[in-house]
Amino acid sequence: MRTPTSSRLAVLAVTAGCVLTLVACSSSSGSTSANGDVSITVNCEPPTSDPIDRKNFTDDIASFEKSHPTIQITPKDEYPCDDPKTFEAKLAGGQMENVFYVYDTDVAQVINNGQAADISSYISGVKGLDDIQPSTLSVFKDSSGKYYGLPKTNYSMGLIYNRSLFTQAGLDPNTPPTTWAQVQADSKKISALGNGIVGYADYSSGNQGGWHFTAEIYSRGGSMVTSDGKHANFDTAAGKAVLQNLQQMRWTDNSMGSKQLLTQSDVMPMMGSGKLGMYIAAPDNLPTIVKQYGGSYDNLSIGPMPGAKATLLGGDGYMFNVKDTAAQIQAGVQWLEYENLTPGLGQFNYQRAAAEKTPVGLPEPDLWNGAMATSDAQAKAKYANVPQQNYAAFQAAMQTLPGKIEPPDAQQIYSVLDNVMSGVLTSQNADINGLLSDASTKVNTLLANQ
- Tell me the pTM: 0.83
pLDDT at position 84 is: 74
| Distance of alpha carbon 420 from alpha carbon 312, whole angstroms | 19
Closest CA to 292 of 321, 268, 318: 268
Instruction: Confirm if 225 and 414 have CB atoms less than 8 A apart.
Output: no
- The pLDDT tens digits for 323-336 are 999 999 999 999 99
The length of the chain in residues reads 450
> Mapping DSSP to helix (H, G, I), strand (E, B) and coil, where does residue 430 land?
coil
Whose CA is closest to 71, among 81, 60, 82? 60
CA distance 55 to 258: 43
pLDDT in tens, 227-262: 999 999 999 999 999 999 999 999 999 999 999 999
User: Cα separation of 285 and 19, whole Å?
Assistant: 48
Q: How far apart are CA 344 and CA 103, in angstroms?
A: 24
For residues 350 and 380, the answer to whether their CB atoms sit within 8 Å is: yes
Angle of CA points 207, 51, 282, to nearest 5° = 35
C-alpha span between 363 and 153 (Å, rounded): 12
Residues paired with 102 in a beta bridge: 317
Per-residue DSSP letters for 230-285? SSB--SSHHHHHHHHHHHIIIIIS--S-S--S--HHHHHHHHHTT-EEEEEE-TTH
Extended strands (E) in 44-106: 71-76, 99-103
Rounded to 5°, angle at Cα 295 from 351 and 104: 65
Which helix (H) or strand (E) segment is 317 a member of?
strand 311-320
Give me the pLDDT at residue 398, please. Answer: 85
Do strands 71-76 and 276-281 pair parallel, antiparallel, or not at all (unpaired)? unpaired
* Omega before 173 within 30 of 0, i.e. cis: no
Nearest 5°: phi and psi at 326?
A: -60, -40
Contact 119, 333 (CB under 8 A): yes
CA dist 340 and 326 (Å) reads: 21
pLDDT for 29 equals 61
72 phi, psi to nearest 5 deg = -125, 130
Cα separation, 174 vs 127, in Å, equals 37
Amino acid at 168: Q
Phi and psi at residue 301, to the nearest 5°: -130, 165
- The pLDDT of residue 127 is 86
How far apart (Å, rounded) are the C-alpha atoms in residues 202 and 280? 7
Q: Which parts of the chain have pLDDT scores under 50?
A: 1-27
DSSP lists the bridge partners of residue 43 as 76
Residue type, 112: N
* Domains identified in the chain and CATH numbers: 31-147+315-341 (3.40.190.10), 158-310+404-448 (3.40.190.10)
Distance in angstroms (rounded) separating the CA atoms of residues 154 and 132: 11
Nearest one of 199, 159, 129 to 401, comparing CA atoms: 159
Q: Residue 93 and residue 103: Cα distance in Å, rounded?
A: 19
**HSE (CB half, 13 Å, CA atoms) of 229?**
9
The answer to whether 136 touches 142, Cβ cutoff 8 Å, is: no
Task: For residue 244, give Cα distances in angstroms to 162, 217, 430.
Answer: 25, 12, 10
- Whole-Å CA distances, 177 to 181, 308, 418: 8, 11, 25
Contact 277, 191 (CB under 8 A): yes
Peptide bond into 4 cis (omega under 30): no
CB-based contact 276:161 (threshold 8 Å):
no
Would strands 38-43 and 71-76 be described as parallel, antiparallel, or unpaired? Answer: parallel
